[in-house]
Copies of this chain bind each other. A is one copy, B any other.
Amino acid sequence: MKKNCIVAQSGGPTSAINASLCGVITGSLENENFETCYGALNGITGVISSNYINLTEMAAIPGFLDKLYVTPAMFLGSCRYKLPADFTDEVYSKIFDELHKLNIGAFFYIGGNDSMDTISKLSGYAKLHDEKINFVGIPKTIDNDLCETDHTPGFGSAAKYIAATVREITYDTFIYPVKSVTIIEIMGRDAGWLTAASALARRNPGDAPHFIYLPEKPFNIVSFLDNIRNELTRRNNVIVTVSEGIRDVEGRYICEYTPAELSEYISTGFNSAKEKNHNTADIFGNTHLSGVGKVLETLVKEELKIKTRSIEINVLQRCAAHMASATDLAESKKQGAYGIKLATENKSGVMVTLKRVSNAPYETKCDYAEISKIANEAKSVPNSWITPDGHDITQELKDYILPLIQGEVSITYHNGLPEFC
């Protein structure tokens, strides 16, 4: 008797995660081992609460898969749910009861590190209890921080949006013949891949961004200010891109500096204000931390007495489907379909990976890796891909990202706006 399969999505949204879902659905339709492909709503919690839809039926609706392919965020919804480490917890029997009820032969989880932890635990439980269900992870994260794979679905689209937006902001900045500093804050708490992508906005040497700060290198406020000061002697408009997660040498997030601390830090000649305890919390309990962009904007304004603006690209970098990378969506779909293949080969406790066969011409192929090497691990930008001065990236890193942003996606516009699922 044929089995069914079930797919779910988890973690934060991207422009490409629904393309991966398309890959799973079309892969299952084309595979003789599976009858019906179900979609659990809101990740693994959809299985726990018997909340799912029939994707095989939906795929028969004309145009559904084409529209799903370019729809941002998560068609099936997300969750932030960590399975307990204890396999005797009743949630496991609940999950497997549901999977039996649906006659499931394979479970696919599209997500990042945390989602791979779920795959790791469910496949571990299945092995222990001799359950004949395969658990396969399909990667997804704009952060590009998953190990064992060349790059992650969603990253290329976010990188393309960031590079294009930084280029457009550059045009916006250059119109006045007055000196100015623009600080663009980009996502990435621990890994600087997205901020690195801003380098692609340049066409010629000297183009913006003039400084790029990743969280992989300790951020030094004094040399940051020196760099900007020097650059302003060469040009009117200095543009800086920073990861939200940059930290000082003691490991403290720059965005955690309160205005009062920053003031003191400056007035005492940049001796660390870390030991000082300024309680600036109001009755809300808020300590009024701004994003790192706002903190640096305040700093530059005060120290350099110059027109300064900070721009937080915010969630737009992960949901701007109208600027998705065609390469990214195609690879996302390919990896979704490859998950089906792995499951039919009885692979479990694995994640689909991508290997770069060659960079020019750009070519990748799908493979897989043991989930234990991926779950709860993170891949940073290697030190060798950051310039020795700590405020730019190397040509190698640019060459690595460039193929991933290639190609534009054809979006259907209705009444002047993109149409999504």
Residues of A at the B interface (CB closer than 8 Å) are 13, 42, 45, 71-74, 77-80, 160, 163-165, 167-169, 171-172, 174-177, 200-201, 259-260, 263, 266-267, 282-284, 286, 288, 290, 298, 301-302, 309, 311-316, 318-323, 325, 402, 405-408, 413, 415-418, 420
Contact = CB atoms under 8 A, between A and B. Distances in A.
A160 B312 contact: no
A257 to B, nearest CB: 12
Contacts of A311: 314-316
Given A73-B174, A323-B322, A169 B316 contact: yes
Contacts of A266: 283
Contacts of A407: 416
27 contacts: A13-B175, A42-B176, A73-B171, A73-B172, A73-B174, A73-B175, A78-B176, A79-B177, A163-B417, A167-B420, A168-B321, A169-B319, A171-B319, A171-B321, A172-B318, A201-B417, A263-B283, A284-B298, A286-B301, A309-B315, A311-B315, A311-B316, A312-B312, A313-B316, A325-B416, A402-B415, A405-B416
A172 B13 contact: yes
A266 B286 CA distance: 15
Nearest to A326: B416
Contacts of A318: 172
When A and B form their complex, which 10 residue pairs have the shortest distance between CB atoms, in order from nearest?
A405-B416, A73-B171, A172-B319, A78-B175, A263-B283, A284-B302, A168-B319, A406-B416, A74-B175, A172-B315
B263 A315 contact: no
A64 to B, nearest CB: 16
A276 B47 CA distance: 54
A294 B321 CA distance: 26
A321 B315 CA distance: 19
Contact of A259 (B80, B286, B405): B286
B314 A165 contact: no
A368 to B, nearest CB: 26
Given A267-B283, A282-B259, A286-B259, A164 B319 contact: no
Contacts of A169: 315-316, 319
A312 B310 CA distance: 11
A260 B282 contact: yes
Given A168-B319, A405-B416, 20 more contacts: A13-B172, A73-B174, A74-B175, A77-B175, A78-B176, A79-B176, A165-B320, A167-B417, A168-B322, A200-B416, A201-B417, A259-B282, A283-B302, A284-B302, A286-B298, A309-B315, A311-B316, A312-B312, A322-B322, A407-B416
B298 A171 contact: no
Contacts of A74: 175
A77 B174 contact: yes
A144 B24 CA distance: 46
A172 B314 CA distance: 11
A87 B163 CA distance: 47
Contacts of A79: 176-177
